[in-house]
Structure 1
Amino acid sequence: MSASISTLDRHSGVWPVMLTPFRDNLEIDWRSLERLIDWYIASGVHGLFANCQSSEMFFLSDKESIELTRFIVAYADGRVPVVASGHTADSCSQQVEQLHAIADTGVESAILISNRLATADQPDETALENLQRLTEAIPEVALGVYECPYPYKRLLTDATISWCAKSGRYTFIKDTCCNEETIKRRLQLVAGTPLHLLNANAQTLLGSLKAGGHGYSGVMANFHPALYVWLVENWQAQPEKAEMLAEILTVSALSEYLDYPVSAKDYHRQIGTFESRICRSRPIGSFDDLHFPTTIAQMQSLSARCKTLIGL
């Protein structure tokens, strides 16, 4: 028997990092966004990570950031919980304003970005001090941390993860370390606390689930979320199929490097979710889409075959 959404912990499962559809004039395409949310939910996801790097949050104004998050929370309408970031500013005072505003949209958790906690040349101790300062300044909403790779990647230290876990304020880490041994150590640090670790890396996902990980929050859920939902819900009950599916998803995830998020938006244009593949982060002419049609067709075929294999 699979673990349904009713039996999974509220902060576990598959949480896609949401795309933001834009019109040709670079304004947000709200109708396409509605279709995207419906598509995620119809695929069985357990939550949505809005206003993140995949959402091109660094290319949104603060006003757009709040409008986007508020819209997603309202349209999801309790069907699944929503977490969101929008934590892009450099100064601490503006970061506090951003996170207050996100918290006020009704999200399940407001997500801090690890590389906003200190500059690349500052020590980890500074990052922890700034995280503690922000935690005190944000109202009593649940919090999370995302190890966002842009503009640089700052991985969380054991000391930071331990502090977050023991604080009782943190529920969500989007882990991008891509290392099974590190993930195992982190899971020991958060054991017995409200803090959940969701892996962004397809290659280490099954191993992290076996070690007690809480789910998946990565870009490939923008292509075939139902397959990740099946893996997270059924890896214990059907281990042989889970191993096979995990190997296929590992290879498939290499397409992440094919001019993402343009490739993901092109996929959604082809399946009818989006009107356009326009990105603010990748201007037209800045990417090579030579292999998009072949790769996307293969992705659709792969998803269909995998669903047949696992009985979806």
Structure 2
Amino acid sequence: MNHNDKYTGVWPVMLTPFDEQRNIDWASLEKLIDWYIQAGVNGLFANCQSSEMFFLSEAESLQLTRFVLDYVDGRVPVVASGHTACGLPQQIDQVGQMAETGVDSVILISNRLASPSEGDDVVLANLQTLTAAIPSTVGLGIYECPHPYKRLLSDEVVSWCAQSGRYTFIKDTCCQIEKIRQRLDLIKGSRLHIANANGQTLLASLQAGAHGYSGVMTNFHPELYVWLCDNWDTAPESAQVVSDYLSAASLLEYLDYPICAKDYQLSLGNFKSVASRTREAGNYYSAHFQSTVQQTLRLGETLKNQLGI
């Protein structure tokens, strides 16, 4: 992994800690940032879906991003989204304000570029309009966010992003290795990087030339993803074992995320509450979810010890 190229490696999708009144808990956010950076991550994706961005006000969205930038203080690069508006004029305003915070790249959300019934031609037209409205000094990216609906990028859109020279980052959620390989061909020679959000296809995507990982499991064991991105080619047998574990552990996402991740951060002493604006926590504690998460992560600790992480 070439560390001179800043859009490679592991980019956690940041959680937003809230207090019991569901206000942002800034002290816990500082601990979380330090925890990510101590794990050796390459950059941070602030104000994304894991940050509950669709449940933040415009003012909170900007305040959150500025806080992350100030506290990180150049230790790692930071990208951010906050691209939640529906109408294009509001999106231009929203994305423009995010660009002014000083983030390395502003990440657009693919499903904001057209409604579910509209075609890829609408996506491309709106993407071109948005791109032209954002100062060229700021990098751009696209995230195939599954909320409120999942919109995968067409080959035409990926090619246009690569050829535009403006785009640095696709957070890829297609979860299909053949499609990832195809996208890698489309972006060859450009400054565009593909960060896979899917643990199950990660190793195969790295072998195919993908640039790293940006997914929810960085909120549990970022060190294992850092190890895999750094060592997949030099320690292939160990990499396969790590990949097999991470594939299985990725299923924890379906156990009331982000509550499961916030509960883990609570157990580490980073968070003071599991409060979320997206869901209630009751089901997580009444089902067997918590013990499943704890046992799966304990297995990960054993793996870290074996690898000397």
| TM norm structure 1 | 0.96
In the alignment, the residues of structure 2 paired with residue 269 and residue 166 of structure 1 have an alpha-carbon distance, to the nearest angstrom, of 44
Q: Per-residue deviation at 1:293?
A: 3.1
Q: Per-residue deviation at 1:297?
A: 2.2
- Counterpart position of 2:32: 36
CA contact (8 A) 1:21 1:274 kept: yes
Q: Equivalent residues in 2 for 1:210-225 (5 A)?
A: 210-225=207-222
Larger displacement relative to structure 2 (145-154 or 94-103): 94-103
Quick one: percent identity of the two aligned structures?
59
RMSD of Structure 2 on Structure 1 (CA)? 1.2
Per-residue deviation, residues 117-169 of structure 1 (Å, max 9, x unmatched): 00000011101110000000111210000000000000000000000000000
Are 2:85 and 1:89 aligned?
yes
What stretches of structure 1 move > 6 A for 4+ residues in a row?
none
Are 2:120 and 1:124 aligned?
yes
Q: Which segments of 5 or more consecutive residues in structure 2 lack a partner in the other structure?
A: none
- Counterpart position of 2:63: 67
In the alignment, the residues of structure 2 paired with residue 309 and residue 243 of structure 1 have an alpha-carbon distance, to the nearest angstrom, of 14
- Counterpart position of 1:163: 160
Alignment partner of 1:177: what SS?
coil
In the alignment, the residues of structure 2 paired with residue 298 and residue 98 of structure 1 have an alpha-carbon distance, to the nearest angstrom, of 41
Change (3 A) 1:123 1:288: farther
Q: Which amino acid aligns with 1:128?
A: L
In the alignment, the residues of structure 2 paired with residue 219 and residue 160 of structure 1 have an alpha-carbon distance, to the nearest angstrom, of 25
Per-residue deviation, residues 236-260 of structure 1 (Å, max 9, x unmatched): 1101000111001101111110000
Alignment partner of 1:226: what SS?
helix
Alignment partner of 1:101: what SS?
helix
Q: Which amino acid aligns with 1:98?
A: Q
Aligned length: 308
CA contact (8 A) 1:259 1:288 kept: no
Are 2:197 and 1:186 aligned?
no
Q: Which amino acid aligns with 2:40?
A: G
CA contact (8 A) 1:17 1:55 kept: yes
- Counterpart position of 1:109: 105
Q: Per-residue deviation at 1:283?
A: 3.0
In the alignment, the residues of structure 1 paired with residue 256 and residue 218 of structure 2 have an alpha-carbon distance, to the nearest angstrom, of 16
| TM norm structure 2 | 0.97
Are 2:292 and 1:274 aligned?
no
In the alignment, the residues of structure 1 paired with residue 43 and residue 173 of structure 2 have an alpha-carbon distance, to the nearest angstrom, of 18
Per-residue deviation, residues 170-218 of structure 1 (Å, max 9, x unmatched): 0000000000000000001111100000000000000000000000000
Q: Which segments of 5 or more consecutive residues in structure 1 lack a partner in the other structure?
A: none
